[in-house]
Structure 1
Amino acid sequence: MPIAVYVLGLSIFAQGTSELMLAGLLPELSTDLHVSIPQAGLLISAFAVGMLLGAPILVVLTLRWSRRTALLLFLAVFALMHVAGALTTSYTVLLATRIIGAFVYAGFWSVAAVTVVALVPSTSRARAMSIVTGGLTIATIVGLPLGTVLGQHLGWQSAFWTVAALCVLAMSGVLATVPAEKPDPATAPRLSAELKVLVNARLWLAFGTTALVTATILVVFSYLAPLLTRSTGLSAGAVPAVLALYGLGSFIGITVGGRFADALPFHTLFISITGLIALSAALALTATTPVLAILVISLLGGFGFAANPALNARVFSLAGDAPTLATATNFSAFNVGITVGPWLGGLAIDAGAGYPTLGWIAVATGSAGLLTVLRAAFLPLSRECVT
């Protein structure tokens, strides 16, 4: 693997820490900003909305840019938004910085994915993307619990300052390892070809799987901190350790998924989604039993993230020689799920259903996602591996 692949993974770690850390900071944000837990949870959905819009827009605007220039610009804006977020005391302003930061984060994801695809052979794309996406799982192991500890002891603003500093470090890595040249005009991506690929109905089925699986993960993950303290009965100080276990499970899951996703995308998806559904039901039934709840949460991270490489591999396979816009749209699909998951969870909590109910919502969305996989598996997909 080229060193740039690992640098891009570390850059995703820096930004992914911000994407994830609010799940551990909801109680502090709720208190400090004088809003309810579900309102604080909307900061997660707002981030997802920014990513939903940013991926296709920014990838089109930067089609003929130097990829290094685009990546550096996105990182710089992301860092500035976190400085602004750390300095504000307004919920509205913080909401705006989350949307703008997520907008450029989506651009970074899309350009980074296309960069990785260009750097490695087609038989290694899912593995390379699992390394880049692995930055997000490291963020769940290290960034998320660290952000939670910082928020509990030094205020949630300290977590925002830390993310800004990490982004500056990531910029130096990108500057040193990602090629600076602009795409050759003769081989540069053409918008007409990119749009033509999106006509493929099979590709939209893959996007649907991505959105539903992500919603299944996020409907529980977004509210893990209050679930652990209010339903499971753990102290606030124990939350970072449980989140770290979730992150460790995620890292193992994405590593295993990355090994099999190129050759066995449907097998990987079927096993991971089925496990996700079963574990979500188990959490709904065991949320009030600490030992069982902690075990289930750890496994949820593993099965949830094991699906990620296969979700990306299917899109690369179907998009063929014009993957740029399809990849960006798939990232938008991820963020449809990130938006819908916390929103559905917030509706249930506001209705007084209780935090364990989040597991049953995840069962419903996961089952819908599994149906899209089964449907795709029995279609005559000429450009997709169905082994």
Structure 2
Amino acid sequence: MITVLGMLHRGRSRAERVRARLVAAGAAVATFLVCTAVGMADFQDEDGSLTGLGLALLAVPVAGLVHQANRLASATRERRLAALRLAGATPGNVRRLGALEGGLLALAGSLTGGALYVVTHLGGPLPQIPVVVALVTLGGVLSGARAGRHVVTSPLGVTRRARVRGPRVLDLVLFAAGVGLLVVGLSVKGRFPVVGKYGTVTAMAAGLVLLLIGATLATTWLIRAYARRAGRRARSPETLLAARLVEADPRAWARALSVVSLTVFFGAGAGAQQAAVGYSQGHALVDVALLLALATSSIALVVHQAEELIDHRRSFAALAAAGVPERALGGVLVRQAVVAALPVCVVAAVSGVAVVVLPLVSVYRVESLPWALTRAVLMAGAGVLAAVVVALAARPLLRGALRSGTRT
């Protein structure tokens, strides 16, 4: 496997080398942020907990970006593996190569991030570094393996497949468990039995992971239901086509928007807490982390947009050949973003406020609600705006897809 992987590296294009560096850099940043967030458990005050939350929050969109980059790289990598299929390699062999490549890149990046943490935090806690490095490397292995599941390599070429799953009760259980762990982490703080101060960061980190997975799975049918409604009420061909494209593959949009929705959720929740207890230095750091998380998740949306255009380039090229203006197809991309992002961001904003207000309903001040609701509206709008800006920025990718679709 190592020999074959070395051969693949020698045959990589410039774009593939850039994506590999992106994966390694993302693993390094995620390792550094998580190690620092765990180190912040030494602080017992509210600002220390909020600082740890802000840094942990930043690691989530970075991880999402790394996985999206792995997914985009899988198709181009496996085109070069088609020759190996002629020699008898199985699809499982191909996926194991993807897992090995993702793991090695994550290991290199996580070691770099761990070393950076040691250099910048001399005298700080260090026991968490091996654990974080191991978890990030494992995440790279799983991401590399899963990224290849939607690509089928055969001796005759490469095809991409989409597997749409129905909603499950487990999706809601994961979401609820994530919210519960976050509430417990923020409420109990350093008073956890046995683990003490590290329990807060552990609970919040586990809550973030469960919340991200649960939100990704549970919003699939929310997006599909809203897309169906938008399609029935469409008053233009662009809106109708956009709604039908989203309805055909809501899971992909749910996955791409998961980190955006998580950012909106935390932004709305932070606003509700700020309105109740006042603005602090910890809240300021969380707000900065939210803005950076939104920017990072927007980059992940760009990767998703590129992946979708690769999948639909022939359909878009056929529409262009039939006389549909490129500007109208660009409008389809924007409407897709609105149809997919609007319900997700609205639900995330409402949930963020509810998680903070409902447990404190007996003591939460009524005069704090206007700012909490205003902050929720602003966060939902920011999430939708980010998706729209990405769609507008993807127009050069659309032109490239139309040209490649015409040649195939």
TM-score bracket, normalised by the shorter chain, equals 0.3 to 0.5
Q: TM-score, normalised by structure 1?
A: 0.35
Mark the structure with the bigger radius of gyration. 2
Flag the structure with more relative contact order, 1 or 2, with Cα contacts below 8 A and sequence separation at least 6. 1
Q: TM-score, normalised by structure 2?
A: 0.33
